[in-house]
Structure 1
Amino acid sequence: MKLGKRLGVAAVTLSLLGVVLAGCSSNNAAAATSDKWSTVVKTAKKEGTVKSVGMPDTWANWIGSWNDIKAKYGVSHKDTDMSSAQELQNFKNVQGKKASDIGDIGINVGPTATKKNLLMPYRSQYWNKIPTWAKDKKGYWAAGYTGTIAFITDTKNVKAADAPKSWADLTKGNYKVSVGDVATEAQAQYAVLAAAHAKGGSETNVKPGIDFFADLHKKDRLSTVDTSIDNFKKGEQQVAVVWDFNALNYRKLIGGDKDRFKISIPTDGTVTSGYAEVLNKKAAHPAAAKLARSFILSDQGQINLAKGFARPIRSDVKLPDSVKSQLLPDSDYKNVYHVKNNDKWNTTTVKLAQMWQSDVMGKK
């Protein structure tokens, strides 16, 4: 479930978005149509609501955009929190008035959702501002924000001087390391890929990452504690491997001693990836779904996400100094890997659960 792992912050003010959007028909992305923004807004207002899955208020400051959309367009919002895999099952199985409209999935499962014919293709006027690696060329999915695998250390349990800054440091420690559920969570799967990259691997060769965590398990250093904010609050974490925006958000929401949590981007290699806002082909409120996706990619929508510590996918958006200052410095992201082939990475993730069980947890 995402709720315990994707916690955001408060809402901000809406900026005007009055532009023409380029859309795609739900049957053929290549046969693009032009939807006037006024038509999208008019229809979305009539629909009156947008139902999301995996996009709770408390994740990456989604509440900022939901509140803005409500204030500007009168479109209410409801969410059911779930994992990426559960979202796709929801898209597949729920129909009619109960169907959800929009979801937020790891881009590694974007190809699967597309092949299963679950998505409604749609491209806004921001399409060309999204990096090629972060979108489907036909418009079935596109990332709205990025995350980079990071370490977060609770210095109530680990000496600050021992907080890892690299995978090499992690190997030398004597603390427990939490990763999460590799079978179902994109964050945990990318943690394996990040370790693999640091050791010379890639999306088609995650064995170096599997071997890395197998070695930790042999030394009894893998924790079974979930990487959730509740467990951080209870002091049950020592070091966790999570998205950078989760780490920053946990630290802020827990509060207290500002130096309690040490956060670092692994200097010897990590992975940056994205989460894609996808539209359900069976959406009960298709216009509201389009409006929401478009707003998320607008300047204000991108700033809203940054307020929740997620880095906007659009590099041309200028963040207010007060927002930019709460993120980690750009200089921390020198050794970052982007998946070169999402189809191949998707194939790998399907095998990861079995690999983790047999080659990590089974080796002791």
Structure 2
Amino acid sequence: MQQTPDVGGPAQPLLTIRGLQKHFALKGGPLGGGGDVVRAVDGIDFEVLKGETLGVVGESGCGKSTTARLMMQLIEPTAGEVIFDGRSVGSRDLPVKEFHRQVQMVFQDSYASLNPRLTIEDSVAFGPQVHGVSRTAAVNRARDLLARVGLEPQRFAERYPHELSGGQRQRVNIARALALQPRMVILDEAVSALDKSVEAQVINLLLDLKAEFGLTYVFISHDLNVVRYISDRVMVMYLGQVSEIGPSDALYDKPQHPYTRALLSSIPSMDPDHRTEEAALAGDPPNPINPPSGCRFHPRCDMVAPICSQRVPARVAVGARQAVSCLMYEPGSGHPSAPQLALAA
């Protein structure tokens, strides 16, 4: 399988997100104008490095799936920029069609993702044909990929989606995503609908395919154990913003943001001496239509100070490739736990 050449070199991030926003307008008056907006994604910045798996976690409604669709250009952003290997997506240098050939997505609902009127072989071969590959070459590629994801072409190629199990359909979706020979695959809750035995098989398949094809993954999931297992770095989202980002082991072993600590404490423990007896986090996330001022987590934070409702925290580096958006780590922020600014000599 041939891939598009590396334009920017190995040191350049494959994907860079700058100031990405998506506000959904709500109907207000009788003509539909003048209403509020849902701040689903509200100004996020991050990078995806070449060859890594970036995990994305957070509570339901934090903006994970909207971020994935914005990255894929499936919905129009309110503001912000998506840069792929040094080229702005949607510009003359990188049209959206060419971007979609290099970045593919696997969705959560394996059945709804497939056309029920197309055979499995035709579903996988459809994308390459749209991008100019001949019918014969596309079918050969589809059969090769079905074999690589563990579906014997002689048995499965002529079947329809309703004739397959959920795990088999998700393998078809993975094969279809790889049919265009992409450089990056975005997996939005791609294994969450599967039972645990099938989930483990699909995760190991994803790791094998990543090594074989040199892929870069963005892996979105609510399963914190799976995210740690598969990810090189993890990004934590809360109410449309990034709370913390860093290497997987560092973030799980020593979380810095109060929300990250609360989120990770929800992971069930098999040790009877470490059972969770008290909820680490109370209440539901605030309404994204009218989010809290200052730090959005302050109404639920056990480290809250008066300044937290007044000042939006900046992202501060707290270790090697680890950064957190919290006033406790921002020098001179006014939080009692914040470092003091060094006095000029």
Give the TM-score, by structure 2 length: 0.28
Higher share in strand: 2
Higher relative contact order (CA 8 A, sep 6+): 1
Give the TM-score, by structure 1 length: 0.27
Structure number with greater Rg is: 2
Higher share in helix: 1
